[in-house]
Amino acid sequence: MNDATPLKSGSLSSGAATVIGHSACPHDCPSTCALEVELLADNRIGRVRGDAANSYTAGVICAKVARYAERIHHPGRLLKPLIRAGAKGEGQWKEASFEAALDLIAENFDRAEAAHGSETVWLNHYAGTMGLVQRDGIHRLRHAKRYSNQFDSFCTNLSWTGFTMGTGALRGPDPREMAKSDCVVIWGTNAVSTQVNVMTHAIRARKERGAKIAVIDIYDTPTMKQADIRILLKPGTDGAFACAVMHVLFREGLADRDYLDRYSDDPAGLESHLRDRTPEWAEAICGVPVTEIEAFARLVGTTKRTFFRLGYGFTRQRNGAVNMHAALSLAVVTGCYQYEGGGAFHSNSDIFRLDKSLLEGRKYYDPGLRWLDQSRIGRVLTGEAEALNGGPPVTAMLVQNTNPANVAPEQRKVVEGLRREDLFVAVHEQFMTDTAQLADVVLPATMFLEHDDIYRGGGHQHIMLGPKLVDAPEGPMPNHHVFEELGKRLGVSESDGFGLTERQHIDHMLQKGGLGDFESFREEKWADMQPDFETAHFLKGFAHKDGKFRFQPDWTGTPAANRPPKRMGPQGPVERLPEFPDHVDLIESADADHPFRLATSPSRSFLNSTFAETASSQSKEVRPDLMMHPDDAAMLGIADGERVRLGNMRGEVSMHARLDAGQRRGVVIHEGLWPNSAFEDGEGINTLTGADSCAPYGGTAFHDTRVWVRKV
């Protein structure tokens, strides 16, 4: 029961018993953990723990969120609105009232619109909070004012597209079924570091059932260190590995032909296609020895309760959608969807019945307005015509829930664009991020325990309430407050969806879905939305009209959550996408001038650019470094801990070498995201990553970068 109520400052004496409040983790992670928060005296929090009553969280959360008191009570937190008083990036500010800062933002938005039309304004946002009210309410202002639309492309496009091409829907077996599996395949996600609850259920299967845990990744992650079977690939070659495994399944009679005939579109065509996708062919591409490919195929082919937990990381390549589709196809060839504890799961994002139309102001949505691809923000802000997509230059921005000067690709272009004197930038933030440092106005923002919101867990099946548990310090305001107050100043406050509180928006979404309201969720804490077994396992048919899984996807015609609007059309070299699951060489391959392939993988103690401000996370990550194979380092005369410089056609960055034999030769890894200021030249790792759109529905290839490496 969620019986904790918001605490006023000083409402507990220092000797009073600790009160436990209940919430949900707001950060950009599929786990969306159910939380228990110690509420202390003087409006402070203590330890944060996982809620054992939630069947997915099961009492386990990551260490960085457990230490959340360090973040919410951080002495460096923004508390006052700031207005730039010097040149951009100089760090000279003057304090202002929130009202005066909002007035200045509205004045600049109106001035920009008068000069260039409404599409000159860009409300740039993403997933700094996953709460629906505080994240998605920005669209209400966007649509009512007819500002530029934003095409989201940082995270899910490649993975969701590849998955949906096969299944027709973004859902799958109950992820808690991992605990009932006899083999758990964790593919392309470092679950120990980035979604720890996957490990909770996988390890339970190992302890209770003797299940094998297989991990497929590009380096020896903390997750791979816990595996029984370790498959080490070269980046961007998952499709080759998957095809060779399927080749063995057909060759050795391990494919479930009855299931394939009933549930897939062209199993005979697939088998014919795979005849020359041999383990020997795949080894030359992905680096995995023939014996390991064959052993893995026999394991999943003879273990009917095999649960494929497919992550995001392996899809962040230019061929990522193809790789996801190929990995997913394995579960269909084995027929493991038929069994409890079997099947393939990536995300349950399609199962939640929450109507956001009022929250987002969908009544005013116009898909014909100009779209701006968030991954190409550098190209947009530096005025490249293709990136501007037929519209005017961007001359006014509000940045919320994202830190593009650090997290976006082609960082030099992003920073160059943000420094434009003719561009007005307002940033609503909790800390002085790389982006906030380049703003004209900085507004202080609340944190998740200081406002009301509601969350969906894409990595599980729960809708979860996050009620306000403590008061914010004087100064910071919620995102919702900014939408509402700008709406008043910009003349749209009478539009549908404005004038409601956070709780009223939550009530509207829940009631429209027949799920109760804020108060009922305060009591119950969450709702389990998992579909029944046959629906979740696609035993009533896959979600395409004919009920068949697509081995032959319609790469440009299949509906998907991230499908670009008509004004943008298909993205990338769609003409090169394969007819059947395959390896397609769309990646940024190494060459003579750039002999290494770089992946910018997530660290254990940061989450994107969040938590990089806390001392405990900084101390655990130590400093920016580059993981190199010792043999590669030896050829370059590089010793462990020495300074190196890496670069390509986009720029150069410096850091220290960390020698590790946990990846294939020619592969280098940088874990982050560190702030730009943590690097000696003040430029971060995304200086090196590219922003070209990936086929077929866009996305960013953050782990697909060729570089040279030199000893400094």
Q: Per the structure, how many domains does the chain have?
A: 3
On whether residue 657 sits in a domain, the answer given is yes
Residue 245 and residue 379 in one domain: no
By three-state DSSP, how is residue 659 classified? strand
Residue 167 and residue 309 in one domain: yes
Q: Which residue in this structure is represented by tokens 């086929």?
A: 695
| pLDDT tens by residue, 668-692 | 999 999 999 999 999 999 999 999 9
Structure confidence at residue 17 (pLDDT): 65
Residue 179 and residue 327 in one domain: yes
| pLDDT tens by residue, 297-355 | 999 999 999 999 999 999 999 999 999 999 999 999 999 999 999 999 999 999 998 99
Residue 689 and residue 644 in one domain: yes
| pLDDT tens by residue, 210-241 | 999 999 999 999 999 999 999 999 999 999 99
Tokens of 300: 């999943």
pLDDT surpassing 50 at residue 13 = no
On whether residue 652 sits in a domain, the answer given is yes
Enclosing domain of residue 127? 82-151+354-447+474-501
6-15, 458-467, 620-629, 693-702: least confidently modelled range: 6-15
Structure confidence at residue 353 (pLDDT): 87
On whether residue 461 sits in a domain, the answer given is no
By three-state DSSP, how is residue 570 classified? coil
On whether residue 203 sits in a domain, the answer given is yes
Q: Burial of 426 by CB count in 10 Å (0-12 exposed, 13-18 middle, 19+ buried)? A: buried
On whether residue 35 sits in a domain, the answer given is no
Residue 169 and residue 138 in one domain: no
Residue 374 and residue 421 in one domain: yes
| pLDDT tens by residue, 660-669 | 999 999 999 9
On whether residue 15 sits in a domain, the answer given is no
pLDDT surpassing 90 at residue 3 = no
Structure confidence at residue 8 (pLDDT): 35
Where residue 316 sits, what CATH number does that domain have? 3.40.228.10
pLDDT surpassing 90 at residue 16 = no
Residue 334 and residue 208 in one domain: yes
| Domain closes at, from 524, 542, 576 | 576
Residue 686, number of CB atoms within 10 A of its CB: 29
Cα–Cα distance between 681 and 327 in angstroms, integer? 40
Where residue 106 sits, what CATH number does that domain have? 3.40.50.740
| Domain closes at, from 543, 576, 609 | 576
- Single-letter residue type at 340: E
On whether residue 524 sits in a domain, the answer given is no
Residue 282 and residue 407 in one domain: no
Cα–Cα distance between 80 and 474 in angstroms, integer? 8
- Could you tell me the pLDDT band of residue 18, with boundaries at 50, 70 and 90? confident
Where residue 614 sits, what CATH number does that domain have? 2.40.40.20
Residue 101 and residue 134 in one domain: yes
On whether residue 698 sits in a domain, the answer given is yes
pLDDT surpassing 80 at residue 1 = no
Give the distance from CA 623 to its chain's centroid: 23
Q: Look up the pTM and report it.
A: 0.96
Residue 251 and residue 166 in one domain: yes
- Single-letter residue type at 282: A
Residue 304 and residue 249 in one domain: yes
Give the distance from CA 32 to its chain's centroid: 12
Residue 197 and residue 330 in one domain: yes
| pLDDT tens by residue, 487-509 | 999 999 999 999 999 999 999 99
Rounded mean pLDDT of the chain? 96
Structure confidence at residue 5 (pLDDT): 35
- Could you tell me the pLDDT band of residue 641, with boundaries at 50, 70 and 90? very high
